[in-house]
Amino acid sequence: MILGILLKRYRMWREITVRELAKEIGVPIATLSRVENGKPCDSGTLLALLSWMHQPAKAVDGPRVA
């Protein structure tokens, strides 16, 4: 859930739409929407998002994603 909040805030701060981000990182729009709404994502999506947000993978704390 925290990832979704951070993602949405960071995306909005960078003034980029969900559609633009999806295209930039190669993830379906629906997947990004689910993440922003607190749903789990796969490890590939998580790594793509962390890379886009410039955070090391070890920065994520909490339960494992599906």
Q: What is the DSSP string of 38-51?
A: T----HHHHHHHHH
Give the architecture (CATH level 2) of 2-59.
Orthogonal Bundle (1.10)
Q: Round to whole Å and give the CA distance between 52 and 7.
A: 10
Q: Round to whole Å and give the CA distance between 18 and 27.
A: 10
- Tens digit of pLDDT for each residue in 26-57? 999 999 999 999 999 999 999 999 899 886 55
Does 55 or 11 have the greater pLDDT score?
A: 11
Task: Determine the pLDDT at residue 7.
Answer: 93
Evaluate if residue 60 carries a pLDDT over 90.
no
Mean pLDDT taken over the chain = 85
Does 9 or 59 have the greater pLDDT score?
A: 9
Assigned token pair, 34:
């689910």
Task: Determine the pLDDT at residue 44.
Answer: 93
Q: Round to whole Å and give the CA distance between 56 and 19.
A: 24
